[in-house]
Structure 1
Amino acid sequence: MIRNERMNWFARVLFVSLIGLIGFSLVPLSGKIGGGEHHSQWVVQHGVLDLKQWNPDADPVIPLDGEWEFYWNQLLEPDDFLQPSSLPNDGAISYIKVPSPWNGKLINGVKLPVYGSSTYRMVLTGLSYTGELALKKTNIRFASKIYVNGRMLMEDGQLSGDKTGYRAGNHPQLGVFSANTNRIEIIVQVANYDYVNSGLVDSLRLGSADGLIAERQLALSKDFVVLAILGTLALIYLICFVAAFAYRIRDYSLVLLASICLLFGLYHGLMGERSLFFLLEGRFSFEVLYKMKDFVSVAACLALALFFYDLHRSKLSLRIAQVVSFALIGFMVIIPLISIRAYTPIQVYVVALYQIVQVWNFLIAAQLFVRGERGSRFKLLMLCVAVLMINMYSLDVILFGLGIHKSAWLAQICIIIFNVVMVPVVVLRFFEAYQTIDKMKDQLQRLDKIKDDFLSNTSHELRTPLNAIVNISQSLLKGVEGPLTDTQARNVSIVVESGRRLMMLVNELLDYSRLKHGDLALQRNAVDVKSYVESVIQIHVFLLEGRSTKLINGLPDHLPLAYADGNRLIQILHNLIGNAIKFSDRGVVKVSAEVRGEWMEVRVSDTGIGVAADMRERIFLDFEQGGAAEYGGAGLGLSITKRLVELHGGHIEVDSEPSQGATFRFTLPLAGQKQESGEDGKLAESVASPLPGTVSVPPPAYPLFVAGKEKEPILLVDDDFANLQSMMNMFKLEGRTYIVVDRGQLALETLFSHPDISLVVLELIMSDMSGYEVLGRIRERFSPFELPVLVLTARNSSEDIRIALENGANDVVAKPFESEELMARVRNLTELKSSVKLARNAEIAFLRSQIKPHFLYNALTAIAELCVIDAEQAEQLTLRLSRYLRSSFDFKHLEAMTTLENELELVKSYVAIEQARFGTRLKVEYVLEANLGVMIPPLVIQPIVENAIRHGVMSRSKGGTVKLTVIEGARGGVLVRIEDNGCGMNEYQLKSILKPDTEVGGIGLWNISQRLRLLYGTTLRIDSQEGIGTRVEMELSTSHILEREVT
């Protein structure tokens, strides 16, 4: 077995080596085959060709190859040869082989350069033909002029002895002249200042006019045939791509193949006989056409490089492919921008790089064929042949461009073979793709069956314990172990409803499995659809738990009976009404119906978010959630509903516009004859209410405050009542104080009216506003240290967690969560808040206790002087100083509020001491028109008054006046204004005074402003002008402290 495999491997190596050897050998041999060796008897010798034996009828076309007279750097006219003595070098004649470039040739011991001008001359003798002859030139680089017997026969471009008057031109031409003598002189003038080789690089051909015209027509026909074949193949590849694209198969290799065909077709039309020149000549200059040829050739090479990389991705290095592609693209870019002479030397290196890559492609293709499996060897062989053809094509074109080959017939054949061979390769690729898809389909079907079996088995296993949970909970709710308290009844009711919801999901999975395998049988009879709708609506009313969604049963009173399975009808209605409620927060869900022929059409309408146009069919697919996965569910409800409706023989569809609600319509067959609807079918709309006798607990009124051991409450925000109740139980067991709300907006209102909240537990997905929006509003007022936020989310990917943290969350808990995990995170965050609060209070206490030494010294000095002058006033001043010091050192209750009266008493004590010091220089005015019994935070007025005195009026030698105004604010609070006519502040001082590191009078204004922001959501308003004075205002709300009952 192993030996046979080795023999087969060796045979494949030998075979691919043989075809490679044959292919690469054909390239040099093609020059001999198409080089006209059978015309070797007609050779120009020393500028003369004897045609005595030439018979134009038997041999109509001959090449004028051989030794031509050559005159370097001279553009000689026919008249110059009439007097040989006038020729350069005293008529000394040099000879050059034609066809060949002159550059590199030794003439008179001098090696000729590439660029310059020259004259070729030869003479035909012994000509006996008297008819019309023709001369054909194919490739003379670059500008040329041909004379026959002293008459100009052809001209291409503009000749000049230097670059200034030169214009390139190189079009295949054919000139006809009369053979009226047996001696014909042919003079060819050539100039080149552009290309890398120069002169007569291709044969001039002589023959009868009819023979040369026929030869040229044949060559043009070959070019157009090649162009037609390549164009047809390109069209086929494009059609295949469009057809595949219609089936969502994006095989861009077909586009590359089409591009290769078109580009190589254009390239062949611009080289050799240049058949496309006839169509474009006159519209574009020769330089544009020549650059177009080079551009198209490089573009074709780029398409080939990309195509082979696409085929050999696993074998070819991406870096090598990028280097080759960038080199080709770069060369394509510079072709239109610079001259032919400038980019031609670069072209050599680009072509060399491309050819090396193509040889490497052939070696890879050969390796794949040798190592390939039996079933793929034919395709790999075709691929190997295709790459070989490209290599042969490239080499033949290079040899033709260098003038070594006189025609590129092998290149034309190779490019056609390449594209023809690629057809079965592409077809085989499609077959392989189809086989792969077929195998994947079988595999998916097996996996789908495994999935269905798993769902079915798991659902069956879940039904028993779920049923036990629901039944035991219901028995507890009905009092089997004695009466329950309201809270206990609420908790058990949530267990019952959660169990029922889970049971519904299990039943959906079972129904899905049965429907998929055709195992679900209907038990149909005549049913009253209105009563079924009423019962389903009442169940959903109970499940709404206080939501303001309105459910309306709008079916007529005397609607005919439908022929349906009652249980399945309930399931259909449950799915549609539940779906409508889910997407219609605080909206209206209405069920209506009407008879249409032998069918009843039932409509479930809502005012929710609607369904996008592209989702109206997809939402009925299995596990499809219509782009609203955040609303929960497994995506089976509507799929099962559609199948159940179709089992009844009806159909279901949806009409909707985004943000304008949706209407689901399904049909059921009528039971027997249609009954009269009565009263012209007038609708008796009834607004649903809970079913009588249903055990239910009314939902709480939000916000709900529950007191515990902790003083500072925690705010719980979630629109799912079951989740809220679950968290309430956890927090109650921990002895926490908490406030419960079910809406984002209500959470913000509660938070801003309760500044003592220590933590917010926030659900991200809510119906009225996004949790991210709530979080952003919180962070506008509180930093993460001032008020921690714990986010709850059903999405626990790293990206979702990152976004939540970046939006200001302190921590994230993924649902479902364990109670221990949640409470541990709550404890961490509340301890963080307590630590920050203690640090802030310590700072306040420290600042409250700061008394500047020089202030005490000045105050005591003033008292000592008064003891001599006025003992009574000294006594009053001593009492004032005592009160001031007692208030400043009183920090036993750091968080205690003080009355406005006490704060003003502290201000007056301080002012009295300063007035005793400064005398008439200091004047203080009071306007006190507010309720002095309101509670305010301590040390928010005195430091500002102290600042106005010390840094305001006392900074001036003449002193000034400080005015303290306390009046009722516009929003029911207290407005405090401190004004002085002191030195004022400039713009820089005004900006820096509220920075954290700026302190004035012991307690920094930044500290006061921060406390106001945390307590009231306001800050200090300061207006000052240098040299005029300063005004400071603050608003102190009187409603931020609320009386609460402990529940």
Structure 2
Amino acid sequence: MNNMKVQKYFFYSMLMIMTVSIIIPGIRLLSSKSPEAVNGTLDLSNYDPGKDKTVKLNGEWEFYYGQLLTPDDFMSNQPAGRTIQKVPSTWSSYQIQGKNLPSYGTATYRLKLLLPEKGQSYGIKILCIAASARIFVDDRQVLTCGVPGYSPETTEPRYYADTGYFSTNKDEVDILIQVSNFTYAKSGIFYGIDFGSQQSITALRMYNFFIDTSLISGMFIISIYFFGLGLQRKNHREAMFFASYCLFAAIHAGTYSESILNYAFPILTYGAAAKILALSLILSLYSLYKSIYLTFNVSYSRRVTMINDGIAVSLILSTCFTDFYLSKYSPLINLLGNAYVVIVVLHMLIKQHIHKKVQGEYYIYTAMISAAVLLIISLFIIILPLEPNLFVPVFQPIFILSLALYMSEKYENSYQTIEELSGRLSILDKLKDDFLAKTSHELKTPLNGIINISQSLLDGAGGSLNAAQAEDIRLITSIGKRLSTLVYDILDYSKLKVMDIKLNIICLDVHQVVESTLEIFRYLIKGKSLTLENKIPPNQYMIMADENRLKQIITNLLDNSIKFTAQGSISLDCYQDGDFLWIEVRDTGIGIPEIKLKDIFTSYEQLEEQPADVSGTGLGLATAKQLVELHQGRIFAQSEPGQGACFTFSMPLVKDNRLLEALPGNYERYDLSPSLTYEKLPHTVNVGSKFSILAVDDEYSNLKALLNMLTVCQYNVTVAGNAKSALLLLKGALQYDLCILDVMMPGMDGYEACRKIREVYSPLELPILLLTAKALPDELEAGFRAGANDFIAKPFEARELKSRVNTLVQLKSSMDLLLEKETAFLQAQIRPHFIFNALNTISSFCYTNPAKAGELLSEFGVFLRNSFDFSSTYSSITIEQEIRLVKAYVAIEQARFGKRLEAEYNIDFSVLDYCILPLMIQPIVENSIRHGLMKRNQGGKVTLNLAKCENRINIQVIDNGLGIAANILDDLTNSKLEGRGVGLTNIKRRLLSFYGVDLDISSAEDRGTAISFNIPAKYC
């Protein structure tokens, strides 16, 4: 409603301006009583130079055709050929001796002026005299426009308006004007000549200059505005045509009236200026027609449009390459063309208003009225002729302003419509994102069920499967995993599409990121004749990137290469270029056709020719490209069909081994704590807890966070900056109940560190919690294969970390308690008849060999003390203590069985100071003696071997007794020991729990038994 009011105010205001602009000049013309020349004399004796304005030197002038007379020619005699003719008018309309004069030729005009006073300064102002003129006042030349001559060769035409000034002490003067025209169809003085005082002529000149420059400047500024608008909105061609109309109309305005263009460019010849005038008129009218046609989308037939275009092109060509613009028909054709275009424009405006009720209708009314008035005034100026600035030139600016406001109104309405649609689209887009997120989460559960159930069927949960059934189930599993990956791809691509990805930029070692990613893929491609190679050197290239997103980029590129590489190799390499590191993923696959290279990073784009077992959505490479660009990098591909492909992308390098101070984008960074720096690592905080935790991460901010959260939870915490430092700490005196490892670390990643820890500690002896950027199924599987107990994804909440840490610590504590009770039970499993037999043996030696009895009594004391006096059944003892217990037991048994029992000890004495859990060797030796040797009448020999190999200790008990039956051996090797005592069961369980190793049992009936195990060499 307010907008409609503005339109109405504009319409009535412009209507008032146009009315005033017509009425005032009309009144001035009707009331004008300017004197006219009679018979070659103009009486201005009543003219007051101080009050009156300029007067037109119109009326009857003396005319001498074919002569270029000078003031000297009138000094003595009256020249021949004198006629009286009307000025202003073209001399082609004059008749001499009953014949019209030709347009081309020479002539002289003469007028006598009767002046009011002597000693005054006067001025003369001309518009255009075709095609060259020289003006004299009495015997003095005051103005020249070109060089008149008697032939085209001696004539120099010029096209511009000018003024001349003179002073006189006479009360009458003669004005003599020489004119030559061999160029233009119109000739002579066809615009009135202004005369007046010097001040009035100067004021008139300045007024016309101001009008012309204002008109030209205004149209030029509007032209620039709409050119800019057209360049921004390439689908709105009407803006470009409207800008062209304003530009050409401004140029055309500079070629008439004061002819400003000729003053701005003095080198312009008469022909060039005339061509510019004609061309600017034609092009402005054509541009106006096209602008209106496109703005209102007028439904003209194609034939009409082609005719209009053809007329415009023919006029332009004829003007440029012929002298048509100078012919006597050109004014008429220009007049008809002007009238035709204006009429067509009016018709389109009226048609638009009648058939379509649109906003901005008052702008259309204003444009129609101003166009009609402009057409009428143009006709009057051409036909009469009148001065160009007789009417203040407001009609064309009003017409242009009306159309400009209408187009702005149209664009504003379009903008409002777009805003409304954008609002609706935003709501729908949010609904879409919510639906996508909810749907994807809902899809995860059934997909997980499909994958797990089909995998369990493959593993034999539902019975044995034939080959066809197994292949079908395997296909279902593969499809389920692909759908699960697709869900993640769609979610990531949706976030990238709306730039809803927040990067956590940190310093990364490229080698470690690549190696940890390749480790997963090496497992996935088992069975394929395909090798994966990491050629990037470790600890050499540090980049600034989001760990999770960088792994996703490499994963997507590797996944793509593996799809199209059935056999051969895939290698990753890099090179430095300035502040960026370029990473290459090169394969020996089928390659990519050159025509497809430019499209492979487009969403949902796939190769047309691809292996039959390859499928996908085409989002992997598109997602990788957008993630690379988020890191301010670039990505491209090179390939030849059959020669493999190479994908190369860039990442910003670290400057001076420090975090970059500024990177564009929405990134999260952490400030390093001043109390925790690289020089202070490793660092331990002891809060007096019975549980100790080792936390390992290369990011000091993460270490500080872990340190704060875990100490608040009353854990003793040691933090280390890399895996090598952590392994050294684990070899120290301090025992840890949990190790927290970051997956991505320079030098040695979390997976490798986890495997090295498992060489020494079992999952229950030292649980490991891995920190990963994104807990994807493949990464989880790789971590668990390396020996991790649990995962937690970064960034994590304190409550989640506390819960997972507490679970793992309590798990270890519970397992320790269980094994401690089993060991205590094992210690208590000393049978009464063993003690009775031992005492009987000692008693018998008291009578026969008292010294031997004393020795056996001492051994028996050692055995009892070592069996019952452990301060903790969970605490480690030295191997020397365990061997002492074994020897005490064997000595008692040898005293009892005599020569039937032999014992041999092959012990590397360097191992005696290392640790071992109690009762790990003695029960095995006891088992060999009682169940292997003493079941035979001849007895046998038991051998104990202890040797150190690298960082491990091998313990072996061998006997040559009865051996073990095959069925019993099978139960022993498969841990089916229920009902067979707790000796070997306890040993096997503790070995698995604390050392991650099992008993190695080999036996054959009547040939003896060998039992061995391998434990890490650790000091107590």
Question: Which residue is 1:312 aligned to?
Answer: 296
Task: Give 1:97 shift.
Answer: 2.2
Aligned to 1:715: none
Could you say which residue in structure 2 is the equivalent of 1:217? 206
Q: Match for 1:268: what amino acid?
A: A
- C-alpha change, 1:547 and 1:388, in structure 2 (3 Å) is farther
2:278 aligned partner, one-letter code: D
Structure 1 CA distance for aligned equivalents of residues 52 and 45 of structure 2: 13
Are 1:576 and 1:664, in contact at CA under 8 Å, matched by a contact in 2? no
How far did 1:98 drift?
A: 1.7
Closer, same or farther: CA 105–503 of 1 in aligned 2, 3 Å: same
Q: Which residue of 2 aligns with 1:302?
A: 286
- With the length of structure 1 as denominator, give the TM-score of the two structures: 0.50
**CA–CA separation in structure 1 for the residues paired with 2:405 and 2:190:** 40
Query: What is the deviation of 1:458?
Result: 7.2
Question: Take 2:140 and 2:515, find their aligned partners in 1: how far apart are those partners?
Answer: 112
What secondary structure, in the 3-state scheme, does the structure 2 residue paired with 1:335 have?
Answer: helix
Number of equivalenced pairs: 635
Tell whether the 8 Å contact from 1:608 to 1:661 is kept in structure 2 after alignment: no
Letter paired with 1:274: S
Establish whether residue 109 from structure 1 lines up as the match of residue 98 from structure 2. yes
Give yes or no for the alignment of 1:139 onto 2:125: no
Q: How far, CA to CA, are the matches of 2:283 and 2:124 in structure 1? A: 35
Checking the alignment, whether the CA contact within 8 Å between 1:202 and 1:403 is kept in structure 2 is: no
SS in 2 for 1:658: strand
Does residue 677 (structure 1) correspond to residue 731 (structure 2)? The answer is no
- The 3 A distance-change label for structure 1 pair 202 and 551 is same
| 1:285 alignment partner in structure 2 | 269
Q: Verify: 1:266 aligned to 2:245, yes or no.
A: no
Which of the residues 640, 646, 658 maps onto 2:637?
658
Paired residue type of 2:43: D
Q: In structure 1, the residue corresponding to 2:175 is in which secondary structure? A: strand
Cα pair 1:230 1:261 within 8 Å, conserved: yes
Change (3 A) 1:582 1:29: farther
Pick closer, same or farther for the CA change 1:280–1:468 going to 2, 3 Å. closer
Q: Distance in 2 between matches of 1:611 and 1:23?
A: 70
The 1:575/1:393 distance shift into structure 2, 3 A limit, reads same
Shift of 1:303: 2.9
Q: Label 1:579 to 1:530 Cα distance change in 2 as closer, same or farther (>3 A).
A: closer
Q: Are 1:65 and 2:58 matched, yes or no?
A: yes
Alignment match, 1:843: none
TM-score, normalised with respect to structure 2:
0.51
CA contact (8 A) 1:372 1:380 kept: no
- Aligned residue type for 1:418: F
* Residues 505, 130 of structure 1: alpha-carbon distance in 2 compared, 3 angstrom cutoff: closer
For 1:507-906, list aligned pairs within 5 A.
536-537=520-521, 540-542=524-526, 546=528, 548-550=530-532, 577-579=558-560, 581-582=562-563, 632-635=615-618, 656-659=635-638, 660-662=646-648, 672=706, 673-674=719-720, 676-678=722-724, 682=747
The secondary structure found in structure 2 opposite 1:276 is helix
Select the structure of larger CA radius of gyration. Answer: 2
In structure 1, distance between residues paired with 2:319 and 2:13: 36
Q: 1:587 to 1:401 in 2, by over 3 A?
A: farther
Distance in 2 (alpha carbons) for counterparts of 1:219 and 1:608: 79
Question: What residue in structure 2 maps to residue 327 of structure 1?
Answer: 311
Partner-residue secondary structure (3-state), 2:525:
helix
- The corresponding residue for 1:418 is 399
Do structure 1's residue 128 and structure 2's residue 123 form an aligned pair?
no
State the match for 1:909 in structure 2: none
Q: Give 5+ residue unaligned stretches, structure 2.
A: 502-511, 540-545, 575-580, 639-645, 653-668, 670-696, 707-718, 728-745, 753-1020
- Could you tell me how far apart the structure 2 residues matched to 1:30 and 1:625 are? 71
Quote the residue 2:991 is aligned against: none
Q: Which residue does 1:352 correspond to in 2?
A: 336
Partner of 1:429: 410
Q: Deviations over 1:700-749 (max 9, x none)?
A: xxxxxxxxxxxxxxxxxxxxxxxxxxxxxxxxxxxxxxxxxxxxxxxxxx
Q: For residues 211 and 550 of structure 2, what CA distance do their matches in structure 1 show?
A: 76
Q: Which residue of 1 aligns with 2:419?
A: 438
Q: Output the CA distance in 1 between the equivalents of 2:185 and 2:24.
A: 24
Give, as a single letter, the amino acid of the residue that structure 1 aligns with 2:393.
Q
- Look up the equivalent residue of 2:256 and give its one-letter code: M
By how many angstroms is 1:29 displaced?
6.6
The verdict on how the C-alpha distance between 1:78 and 1:253 changes in structure 2, with shifts beyond 3 A counting, is same
Question: For 1:553 and 1:136, how far apart are their aligned partners in 2?
Answer: 88
Contact 1:536 1:573 in 2 (8 A): no
Alignment gaps of 5+ in structure 1: 1-8, 521-527, 558-563, 594-600, 688-1047
2 CA distance for matches of 1:518 and 1:216? 62
Contact 2:57 2:193 survives alignment (8 Å): yes
Distance in 1 (alpha carbons) for counterparts of 2:143 and 2:348: 50
Matches within 5 A, 1:890-969: none
Aligned position for 2:42 = 49
Letter in 2 for 1:267: H
Whichever residue aligns with residue 661 of structure 1, its letter is F
The alpha carbon displacement at 1:42 in A equals 1.0
User: 2:387 aligns to what?
Assistant: 406
Name the aligned partner's letter for residue 348 of structure 1.
L
Equivalent residue number for residue 971 of structure 1 = none
Please say if residues 532 and 570 of structure 2, whose CA atoms lie closer than 8 Å, have aligned partners that are also in contact: yes
Counterpart contact for 2:636–2:649, Cα < 8 Å: no
- Cα 1:154–1:536 change in 2 (3 A) is closer
In 2 relative to 1, CA 166–627 (structure 1 residues): closer, same or farther, beyond 3 Å? Answer: farther
SS in 1 for 2:321: coil
CA contact (8 A) 2:230 2:237 kept: yes
SS in 1 for 2:51: coil
Whether the 8 Å CA contact 2:56–2:192 is kept in 1: the answer is yes
**Aligned-pair distance for 1:272?**
0.9
Give the Cα–Cα distance (whole angstroms) in 1 for the partners of residues 93 and 551 of structure 2: 98
Whether the 8 Å CA contact 1:327–1:350 is kept in 2: the answer is no
Counterpart-to-counterpart distance in 1, 2:27 and 2:588 = 82
| Aligned amino acid, residue 204 of structure 1 | I
In the superposition, relative to structure 1, how do residues 114 and 128 fare at CA in structure 2: closer, same or farther (>3 Å)? same
- From 215, 225, 233, give the equivalent of 1:226: 215
User: Would the alpha carbon gap of residues 363 and 314 (structure 1) be closer, same or farther in structure 2, given more than 3 Å must change?
Assistant: closer
> Secondary structure in 1 aligned to 2:637?
coil
User: Is residue 120–residue 187 contact of structure 1 (8 Å, CA) maintained in 2?
Assistant: yes
Between the aligned residues of both structures, percent identity stands at: 23
SS of match in other structure, 1:661: strand
SS of residue matched to 1:103: helix
Q: Distance in 2 between matches of 1:338 and 1:515?
A: 61
Letter in 1 for 2:48: N
Inter-CA distance 404–29: structure 2 relative to 1 (3 Å threshold): farther
For the pair 1:191 / 2:151, whether they are aligned, the reply is: no
Q: Which of 82, 85, 95 is residue 96 of structure 1 equivalent to?
A: 85
After superposition, the Cα gap between the structure-2 partners of 1:384 and 1:361, relative to the gap in structure 1 and judged at 3 Å, is farther
2-structure distance, mates of 1:145, 1:664 = 76
Q: Which residue does 1:505 correspond to in 2?
A: 486
Name 1:275's counterpart in structure 2.
260
Letter in 1 for 2:415: Y
The amino acid that maps onto 1:550 is L
1:315 Cα shift? 3.8
Q: How far apart, in 2, do the equivalents of 1:126 and 1:173 lie?
A: 22
Q: 1:205 to 1:608 in 2, by over 3 A?
A: farther
Tell me if the contact between 2:516 and 2:751 (Cα under 8 Å) persists in the aligned partners.
no
1:361 positional shift: 1.4
After superposition, the CA RMSD in angstroms is: 5.7
Tell me by how many angstroms 1:534 deviates. 8.1
Q: Secondary structure at the match of 1:144?
A: strand
Query: Judging changes above 3 Å, is the alpha-carbon distance between structure 1 residues 322 and 306 closer, same or farther for their aligned structure 2 residues?
Result: same
1:261-318 Cα distance to aligned partner (Å, 9 max, x none):
443333222211223323322x233332332333333333333233223312344555
What per-residue deviation string (whole Å, max 9, x for no partner) do you get for residues 638-689 of structure 1? 899999x99xxxx9787755334347989997573445412896559999xx
Q: Aligned partners of 1:342 and 1:100: how far apart in 2?
A: 18
The aligned residue for residue 716 of structure 1 is none
Distance change in 2, residues 1:409/1:629 (3 Å) = farther
